[in-house]
Chains A and B, each alone.
Chain A
Amino acid sequence: MGKRRVSTGDHGGDDGGHGDRPWVYFMVDCFMLITEFFVLSFKFKTEEVILPHKLPPGGTVPSKSQAILEKGETLSVYVTRSGGQAMYEINKQQYSLAQLSGTMASVVSNGKNFTVRISYERAVPWEDVMAVFNECSKVKVEKVGLVPLRGEPASGG
């Protein structure tokens, strides 16, 4: 709580406080403006979350390494859009996003030996493919690659 100071008359006369220290008002104004700036532009530091995956040999990895084939099994998922909803094709069967989780769990027995390759239609949004990455994380599949669209130059040249 601020104390009330009784002026002895040393700091000025009739101008009401800080008479010979006018810079105090300027300093307080600056302080206020700086504080206002920080309060208005304040945003808490938030740590972004991530989904870690490895690109498998072949798929999106340079073509010179395509000869190094995986020893484990490979699952191909084809992502399409139908009626504004994402559809996932596994072994020629179509699944919705809700069905994808169960299907992945039943198909993938041991995630560590598995490689998932995702192919997709050209205009499919990233969120639909990210859903496959998310399901792969659930069943502990680490190696997930994208199968490039036809017509796009191969990454490895």
Chain B
Amino acid sequence: MPAKPLEEHKTEVDMVPYIDIVSLLLLFLVITGDMTKSATGVKMKLPRADQAATEKKLGISTEGRIVVQMKPKDSKNVDAGYFAVVENNQYDLVAGNQSLVNYLKEQVDRRVAKGLSKLGESGEVSFPVKLRIPTEAPMYQVERVVMICAKAGLVNVHYAADNKDKKD
């Protein structure tokens, strides 16, 4: 049988193992990556607290927890005011903001109806509220958000902090 001419023997890179590897890499990135925006959506510098730990380590339940975040209106001027971000809603953080109080109360009522907590003597509930407050926020702004939470019956507060130097 006569041999084929050399130019007919063409080579090509097999794509199958390449695609397999890239798929695995993609899968790893999707599983381990943080794509969620709800819980830590507002980027902020949190205050240091060496006593802070994860809920798992503290043995604390987060069932029914509401997350309230403070977002500055102007990142360069702390006195420009703040927004309170709850889930995907944004409220102007003014003292006793009734629409925010009403929204939180509505959320509390829904959770109470689900049986997550009973209402206490002063209308307080046992499920927690997580407050994410930037380190530089002035206290006259911070107390507004704390008071609004208290008014809605959320007295069990989880303050988000940073303990990067501490090993868990």
Contact = CB atoms under 8 A, between A and B. Distances in A.
Interface of A: 1-7, 9, 16-18, 24, 28, 31-32, 34-35, 38-39, 41-55, 57, 60-62, 64-65, 68, 79, 120-127, 129-131, 133-134, 137-138, 146, 148-149, 152-157
Nearest to A61: B150
Contacts, number: 204
A50 B53 contact: yes
B138 A122 contact: yes
Contact of B11 (A5, A52, A124): A5
B122 A64 contact: yes
B12 A18 contact: yes
A133 B49 contact: yes
A101 B144 CA distance: 27
Interface of B: 8-15, 17-19, 22, 25-26, 29-30, 32-34, 39-40, 46-56, 58, 60, 78, 95-96, 121-124, 128, 130, 132-140, 142-144, 146-151, 155-163
B26 A38 contact: yes
A124 B12 CA distance: 68
A124 B54 CA distance: 27
A7 B53 contact: no
B159 A130 contact: yes
Nearest to B132: A48
A13 to B, nearest CB: 9
Given A45-B32, A54-B155, A60-B143, A9 B8 contact: yes
